[in-house]
Amino acid sequence: MKPLTRSILIGAIAFAAGILGLLLGQAAPADMLNAAKGTVGGVIGLVSLLLALVLGFLVYTAFAIFTTQQSESHSLGPVIADIDLALAQYGPEALGGRAGLRASLRRTRARFFEDAGQGPRVHSFQEIQTTFANLDGYFGSLEPTTDKQRRLLAKAWDLARKSHDVQMTMTRQLASPFPPRVLPIVICWASALFLGDGLVSPANAIAVAALFVAALAVASAIFLILELSSPYSGFIRIGPAGLDSVLAALGDVAPARKEGATADGVAG
């Protein structure tokens, strides 16, 4: 379900709970309701505090996920440039590695940006093994003859592993950004809060409007949480411009396409 749809649904549930509270307040005997207002008010205060703390924490966590993904994606540019420079200085024997680096970036672009509805695909265990096996195989096939080539080879090897480590970590971070039962608990708290507010509020247009505005606020908070925790899909997302600029700088502006693993070890 899309974040906007889920947010609207959660807001509607909260608003419906508030309307139910208004109806129950009208149906309950006046003396009973007046006697219970202190208790209901205390419960409302407790649930309000819990809901505010949890929503604030979730928004902060989702924003941290977004900014972490953004900073990690930006950090790949200098690493890729350094790998390409090291392979270029190594000599013509490393041309295959430079071509593999470009192929790897095209696959990275496809993985993170090809499916704007679902976001990046998580690296499977087999993909991780294949990537590092290809990486080790390629760099192991090079035979440096000078100290400079040995230094460049070691540098490129370390940077290539770092680049793949960062990308795999990025996809794993997005696989499950929140515990699976957090949002249902938030929905229950919001419903309890709106129900209690409805019970102690007069049934008039102003009360209904206030409940609607509050439900809209809860829905917008949920929308921010869902959007920011999925930074490569939806309305608020990280675009491929940074990766495209790296590909353009490396002389490759071809659109992303699916490719199989290559023999050159720099490909991921």
pLDDT for 117 equals 64
pLDDT at residue 258, as a whole number: 36
Neighbouring residues of 221: CB distance < 8 A, sequence distance ≥ 6: 55, 58, 59
User: Which range of residues forms the domain containing residue 240?
Assistant: 3-249
Domain-located, residue 263: no
> Is residue 255 in some structural domain?
no
Structural domain contains residue 267: no
Q: How confident is the model at residue 107 (pLDDT cuts 50, 70, 90)?
A: confident
Task: Categorize the per-residue pLDDT at 116 as very low, low, confident or very high, splitting at 50, 70 and 90.
Answer: low
Element (H, E) at 135: helix 125-141
The reply to whether 201 falls in a domain is yes
15-24, 44-53, 123-132, 157-166: least confident range: 123-132
On the question of pLDDT at 257 being above 60, the answer is: no
268 lies in some domain: no
User: Per-residue confidence at 252, pLDDT binned at 50, 70, 90?
Assistant: low
Q: Is 210 among the domain residues?
A: yes
Count of structural domains within the chain: 1
Q: What is the pTM of this model?
A: 0.77
Q: How do residues 128-183 score in pLDDT, each as one tens digit?
A: 888 889 898 999 899 999 999 999 999 999 999 999 998 888 888 887 777 778 88
The per-residue pLDDT for range 51-65, each reduced to its tens digit, is 999 999 999 999 999
Sign of CA dihedral 122, 229, 55, 16: negative
% of the chain with per-residue pLDDT over 90:
40
How remote is the C-alpha of 241 from its chain's centroid?
18
Residue 37's pLDDT is what?
A: 81
pLDDT at 254 over 70: no
Residue 261 lies in a domain: no
Neighbours of 140 (CB within 10 A): 11
